[in-house]
Amino acid sequence: MTGEGARRVAGTADHRWRVLRRLAGRHAGFFTTRQVLRTGCESQVRAALGDGSVTRAGVGMMRLGQWRVGPLDEYAMWAAWFDGAAAVSYQSAAELHGIGRLQPRFLHLSVSAGRPPVTTRLVLTRRKLAGADVESAGPFLVTTPVRTVLDLAETEISQSALDEVVADAVAIHRCDTDEIWWGGQLLAPRAATRVRRALSRV
């Protein structure tokens, strides 16, 4: 059920409704109008919006009403928008992992497919991440602490900010120095040097 061109779901109305609810369940109850059209659940969703069992969460986004509001809902919502083909990354991943104090103003996502939404809230990086580079956070994916450190080494954050990210990651046992060092060897020279500097200060 991923991809813009997925076929419309066959079966009874009850079956199609179950499929949509199962899709929504992967992302804390969030689902898109595209998924509604793919599953053929337009009439059920209209009725559910009328009785309050489905609510609007934004342009092209809805949510099953029984899900409680939570602190990570925004991450889950955008994971639903991209049909799961996205991972929280860079500064936003560091914040989720509790490493560094970057306080991102935007939500950073790495996406491998899907149409970007019209919003100034997201910073998108188009790339396909290996399975070893992401981990599940329940209703969404996030880059692993090691991948997050390496990604940040390639950005324009200051060396002192990177030092803090690396020090925190090691101190709270989110990753060890060997993992970071070996990963750093695969980066471009400038980023690799930044990783070595950060490790020298741990």
Task: Give per-residue pLDDT as tens, 71-130.
Answer: 999 999 999 999 999 999 999 999 999 999 999 999 999 999 898 998 999 999 999 999
The whole-number pLDDT of residue 125 equals 97
Q: In the chain, what is the straight-line distance between the N-terminal and C-terminal CA atoms, in Å?
A: 45
- For 34-45, write each residue's pLDDT tens digit: 999 999 999 999
The whole-number pLDDT of residue 8 equals 66
The whole-number pLDDT of residue 11 equals 75
Q: What are phi and psi of 114, to 5 degrees?
A: 105, 155
Residue with token string 């109305």: 13
Token pair belonging to 45 = 């969703």
Those residues whose C-beta lies under 8 Å from the C-beta of residue 21, and which sit 6 or more positions away, are 64
Torsion of CA 89, 3, 73, 45, to 10 degrees: 170
Average pLDDT, the chain: 94
Please state the pTM of the whole predicted model.
Answer: 0.91
Q: Write down the number of H helices and E strands in the chain.
A: 9, 8
Residue with token string 């793919």: 38
Q: What are phi and psi of 95, to 5 degrees?
A: -65, -45
The whole-number pLDDT of residue 4 equals 41
Q: Which residues pair with 61 in a beta bridge?
A: 32, 58
Among 30, 21, 35, residue whose Cα is nearest residue 62: 30
